[in-house]
Amino acid sequence: MATMSLSGTDLSRDYFTEVVRPLVDERWPGLPLAAGRFGSGSDVLGLDDALSRDHDWGLRLTILVEQDVVEPIRVWLAQQLPPEYRGHPTRFATTWHPVPTVQVEVSTADEFVSSRTGVGPEPLGITDWLSLTGQSVLEVTAGGVFADDAGAFAAIRNRFDWYPDDVWRYVLAAEWARIGQEFPFVGRAASRGDEVGSGLIAGRIAVAAMRLGFLLERRWPPYSKWLGTMFADLPIAADVAPALTAALGANRWENREAGLATAVTALNEGQRHVGLPSVAAAIEPFWDRPFLGIGAVPETLLESITDERVRELPAGIGSIEQVSDSVSVLVSPERRRTVMAALLAGGGSTGR
């Protein structure tokens, strides 16, 4: 029977330690390598459970070595690995590879990073940073490290620690702008009898508010399935999550708007707490209408940017995740970079 008590990462760690590493050492004694459970999969984020195990879950891990031994190690493991380990098959199909095969990814550090993020070994430019999704970064920085003989994984994690300061402010300003563009519509849609539309707008604002929370905590956000789960673990969620819950559960637009206003106010306070520019009141009346709007938070952030290359970027565009929620775009490094390069070029400098 397959062992069900271990998480995917724990299972992969034991698999590496007891089976994979000894096989590599047998053929290449003393070879420096890095290894861990990285890439896609709920277990990389520590969120896998019994339900996760119906597809793409099992004896998966990533090994990083120099280019000259990548293919020899792949061939060696394919030949030498046993059929199973602790009741789990060592060769199985995945949604991206329907033929059962060894799920030990062997690569160089540069190829591994590029396959997820789309960037090469050179220093990241502004377009590079804005083309990243939180999930793409998590696929190379989250997860358990099983070995790091030459410091390859440490270097990767340091490289993608967080945005440069002015890029961070630019992305924050864009998220605030997204909230401000629709905040008054929560009440306006309902004033015409469209409570469903009002609720949908509130949901969009709630997503932007959660993303603001990740930005303020300097944490990369996962894709939508785990956004709320991981948001709940952020320190700022204690002040924001109850208000968002109240807003999304409200059956009247006034209560919906009030919950969102409380959440936005807490985010503005959180921004002040981390030393970033904020405003005295994040919520203000929307003209002479009986609805609320957002204060000049985006403008205040943009005015604080000192890097001229970032100052030249079009306001309100932000990162690829703020531009598009198309899965087909977000999972493709090439498409992400193409979209961002075109959008940023349309507004001035691309920061390259």
pLDDT per residue as tens digits for the range 184-196: 999 999 999 999 9
Whether 226 is in a domain gets the answer yes
Cα Rg of the chain (Å, integer): 23
Tell me what pLDDT residue 348 has: 45
Whether residue 13 contacts residue 6, with contact meaning beta carbons closer than 8 Å, is answered with no
Residue of 116, 147, 207, 163 whose CA lies nearest to 20: 147
**Is it the case that residue 141 has pLDDT exceeding 70?**
yes
Q: Are 298 and 177 in contact (CB under 8 A)?
A: yes
**Is there a single domain that holds both residue 88 and residue 102?**
yes
CA atoms 184, 185, 191, 192: torsion sign: positive
Torsion, CA 51, CA 56, CA 59, CA 64, rounded to 10: -130
Tokens of 79: 């030949």
Exposed/middle/buried for residue 18 (C-beta within 10 Å: 0-12, 13-18, 19+): exposed
**Residue range 141-157: average pLDDT?**
93
Count of structural domains, the chain: 2
What pLDDT, on a 0 to 100 scale, did the predictor assign at position 49? 85
Note whether 29 and 147 are same-domain residues.
yes
Residue percentage of the chain with pLDDT more than 70:
97
Q: In which residue are the tokens 């062997």 written?
A: 106
Does position 157 have pLDDT exceeding 80, yes or no?
yes
Instruction: Kindly report the pTM of this predicted structure.
Output: 0.92
- What would the mean pLDDT of 41-48 be, rounded to a whole number? 90
Indicate if the pLDDT at residue 238 is higher than 90. Answer: yes
With contact defined as beta carbons under 8 Å apart, do 42 and 48 qualify? Answer: yes
Residues 151, 261, single domain; the answer is no
Residues 55 and 189 in one domain: no
One-letter identity of residue 266: A
Residue range of the domain that includes 187: 165-306
2: in domain: no
- Is the predicted pLDDT of residue 67 greater than 90, yes or no? yes
Tokens 């952020």 sit on residue: 234
Q: Is 315 contained in some domain?
A: no
pLDDT recorded at residue 3: 43
Residues 233 and 79: their CA atoms lie apart, in Å, by: 43
Does 280 lie in the same domain as 202?
A: yes
pLDDT tens sequence across 306-338: 999 999 999 999 999 999 999 999 999 999 999
